[in-house]
Structure 1
Amino acid sequence: MSEQEKGGGEPGGPRRIVMTPGARRALDAAGRLFYERGIHAVGVDLIAAEAGVTKKTLYDRFGSKEQLVVEYLADRDERWRAFLAPYLADAGTARARILAVFDASRDWAEGRSSKGCSMVNAHAEISDPVHPAYAVITGQKTWMLALFTDLAREIAPRGAQHLGRTLMLLHEGGLVAHGLRIFPGAVDQARADAEELLRAAAAGDSVDR
């Protein structure tokens, strides 16, 4: 492993690199282009030009376009988790923290995800589990499911798995509908449905199965 490499953020996660200023510029350019135009549609020549670095520098720092994609998605995930953290910290009960996830997702989507969830979009282009970015995509969604399930356990201990999965479906559906722009306020509607679900769960009327 070179001095520019580091392990993934999660145990068993993909290889990551240490960011130099030049690598950071390249990653910022790649992230913007990948999200706006699609991963397959963007080549390293365009990324290098947008970042103001040579193609050689880009390969010296990242080694391959695949590694750039890994860094792009991992960076999006890290920034999302940092964005979400204060929403969770400011909420008191498990119910409030679950709804705070939807609030954070709405604010994130409105300011940073006009084309929908970057992980869902990336999965449409990267469906091969062998691709190093595949683990970043599925790992991010696994983390979200675990978050919902852990919080659901405080509300419906015996039905936590089912409740967590249902909350995840509402959350992801809201994000996809937001990206498609079929109707306005998709994440807010998903939040309202989640609130109704949590009310029923707290009353013991559902998900105890």
Structure 2
Amino acid sequence: MPAPITEEQTRSDREALLDAAESLFYERGIRAVGMDQVRAASGLPLKRIYRLFAAKEDLVVAILGRRDRRWRESLAAHVEQAPDPRERVLAVFDWLAEWFAEPGFRGCAWVNAHGELGSSSDAVLAEVRSHKQAFHDQIAVWVHAAGASAVEPVFLLAEGAIVTAGVTGDPAPARHARAAVATLLGTP
């Protein structure tokens, strides 16, 4: 009889699976990647994968949730370095420009997931909406701290830059959106 799987091994297997699946899904698309490809990339047997996540949809939701935390923490760490509240709002777009220029940038993982599964998966749609609402709320905090009320335009400029950069493969939309936000905030 094999030894029972420890909690530590379960955590390790789960992280390896999430890493492999996230990379594959982001690079190739969720529907284009079969679970055999996830198995090969993670090094885990399919039986173990399905013990960790009963369905591919559950795996996608877990990936999006984990990515959301990482993405927003990275954004906040960058933005909070700016000493001036107005500069913090503009720093959102500096961070976006850096993200857009990263090798392998394929646009917004949540928009991509929504495009593939949003109409057929309530769980994925809920995770996408949760991320977008949390990003909106983060922007609102920074915009209000800058003494401005332009939350919706700033949010839409950020979202538009993300989608445009994802489609064009060009980081310039972040710079253009930053300039528009600077005008909205009355910042030189």
TM-score by length of 2: 0.86
Larger relative contact order (CA 8 Å, sep ≥ 6): 2
Cα-Cα RMSD:
2.4
Is contact 2:20-2:41 (8 Å) kept? yes
What residue is the counterpart of 1:28 in the other structure? 19
- Number of the residue aligned with 1:206: none
Change (3 A) 1:99 1:27: same
Amino acid at match of 1:135: A
Match of 1:148 in 2: 139
In the alignment, what sits opposite 2:34?
A: 43
**What is residue 80 of structure 2 aligned with on the other side?**
89
Determine which of 165, 170, 173 is the counterpart of 1:186. Answer: 173
User: For 1:93-112, what per-residue CA distance to the aligned partner results, in whole angstroms no more than 9, with x for missing partners?
Assistant: 22111111111122122226
What count of residue pairs does the alignment treat as equivalent?
Answer: 181
Deviation digits for residues 81-125 of structure 1 (CA, Å, limit 9, x no counterpart):
221122122112221111111111221222266111111111111
Structure 2: stretches of 5+ with no match in the other structure: 1-5
Q: Secondary structure of 1:111's partner?
A: coil
Contact 2:99 2:105 in 1 (8 A): no
Counterpart CA distance in 1 for 2:170 and 2:138 is: 27
Amino acid at match of 2:86: R
State the alpha-carbon separation in 2 of the partners of residues 63 and 106 from structure 1. 37
State which of 85, 92, 95 in structure 2 corresponds to 1:104.
95
What is the rounded CA distance, in whole Å, between the counterparts of 1:64 and 1:124 in structure 2?
A: 19
Out of 19-28 and 137-146, give the one that drifted further.
19-28
Answering whether residue 55 of structure 2 is matched by residue 64 of structure 1, we say yes
User: 1:108-157: per-residue Cα shift (whole Å, max 9, x none)?
Assistant: 22226611111111111122385212222111111111122222223446
Contiguous gaps of at least 5 residues in structure 1: 5-17, 201-209
How do residues 121-200 of structure 1 correspond to structure 2 at under 5 angstroms?
121-128=112-119, 131-156=122-147, 160=149, 163-181=150-168, 185-199=172-186
Percent identity for Structure 1 against Structure 2: 35
In the alignment, is the contact (CA less than 8 A) between 2:22 and 2:63 conserved in 1?
A: yes
Q: Deviations over 1:29-82 (max 9, x none)?
A: 100111111111112111011111110010011121111101111121111122
| TM-score, L = length of structure 1 | 0.78
Contact 1:149–1:164 (8 Å) recurs in 2: yes
Runs of 4+ that moved beyond 6 A: none
